[in-house]
Amino acid sequence: MEESSETTYLYYRTYGSLPLETRGGKQKNRSYLDNEDVFKACRAWLLTQKLATVTPKGFRHALNTQIMPRLLASAKKTTYKWLNRLGFHATKEKKGVYVDGHEREDVIEYRQKEFLPQMAYYQSLTTNYEEDANKVLQPIPLILPPGEKEHVLYYHDESCFHAKDYSTRIWLDENQQKMPSKSKGGLIHCSDFISLEGRLSIGQKDARKIIYPGGPQKIAYWDTEALKQMDEAIDIFEEKHPNKVAVFVFDQSSAHASKGSGALNAFAMNLGEGGAPLPQKVSFSYTFLFRKYLLTL
């Protein structure tokens, strides 16, 4: 089968030459990388290099002088192929603030040994639903262990919008013209709690908060205002679910782990002598004030 032009282009961009014809009676040659010791030695050298400093030229030099100095010098194309087999791929550097750490060893250990068992325990104490013959969700009778109360999981949900997102269509006369605005409008931040039964609200009481993070309408939401929202959310929960236990689930955001104003914080202490230290008061974890479960994803 002939290779597509895109495949050929990607090959050329990676190896700097066109792919060789593979059809015919080509014998299967073994590679030095098939040797486990050579493979481990190459991987060990690559992983000891400073982040983002590995290059085919540098790796080739290491092969010929450190890793396999007694063998014939490796070809340039061989170096590219070996890098791919060793798990290294060429990519463009992109600007960003997010790093995917889901597969880190410590994250996997926490997820498997702590988070998932804890969530399974909470879910065993909550009411679940299933569809009946009419495809209507019906609650499954909950059997609680002695001394346990029914738990209700509420997930913290937040979204950001811009003031001009809601409407992008306008009506104009054929002779009229409106220049589009360069601004998306002010930022609007919506913070709410959602469960299997819907949003956390009862009657006219609502746990949702609308925040304006910037501009003249700025609200200091991150300066302990989130804690006030939790106070109101717990009051609404106790009225909506009497004699039940709330489990509030948050994601692992640094803002959700921020301390209140004046809380004890080593980072706010002066490193040297002199200067006015920030006022700090004796405090304790606000979690215990809730008398509820607070869980972070």
Q: Is there a single domain that holds both residue 119 and residue 220? A: yes
Considering the domain boundaries, does residue 2 fall inside one? no
With cut-offs at 50, 70 and 90, classify the pLDDT of residue 292. Answer: very low
Considering the domain boundaries, does residue 235 fall inside one? yes
Predicted local confidence at residue 95, as pLDDT: 66
Most confident of 102-116, 215-229, 255-269: 102-116
Q: How long, in residues, is the chain?
A: 297
| pTM higher than 0.75 | no
Q: Is there a single domain that holds both residue 196 and residue 54? A: no
Considering the domain boundaries, does residue 222 fall inside one? yes
Considering the domain boundaries, does residue 44 fall inside one? yes
Q: Is there a single domain that holds both residue 189 and residue 50? A: no
Considering the domain boundaries, does residue 272 fall inside one? no
Q: Which residues of 77-109 are buried (b: 16+ CB within 10 A; e: fewer)?
A: ebbbebbeebebeeeeeeeeeeeeeeeeeeeee
**With 50 as the cut, is the pLDDT of residue 274 above it?**
yes
- Asked whether the beta carbons of 128 and 140 are under 8 A apart, the reply is yes
- Asked whether the beta carbons of 156 and 249 are under 8 A apart, the reply is yes
Q: Is there a single domain that holds both residue 144 and residue 289? A: yes
Region at 87 (left for phi over 0; alpha for psi -120 to 50; beta for the rest): left
Q: Is there a single domain that holds both residue 77 and residue 143? A: no
Considering the domain boundaries, does residue 90 fall inside one? no
Q: Which two tokens stand for residue 241?
A: 């679910």
Considering the domain boundaries, does residue 97 fall inside one? no
Considering the domain boundaries, does residue 80 fall inside one? yes
Q: Is there a single domain that holds both residue 161 and residue 194? A: yes
Q: Is there a single domain that holds both residue 33 and residue 66? A: yes
State pLDDT tens for residues 193-226: 999 989 999 999 999 988 887 655 555 555 555 6
Is 228 or 162 the better-scoring residue by pLDDT? 162
State pLDDT tens for residues 131-159: 999 999 899 999 999 999 999 999 998 88
Q: Is there a single domain that holds both residue 159 and residue 213? A: yes
Number of domain units in the chain = 2
Domain that holds residue 13: 9-20+28-85
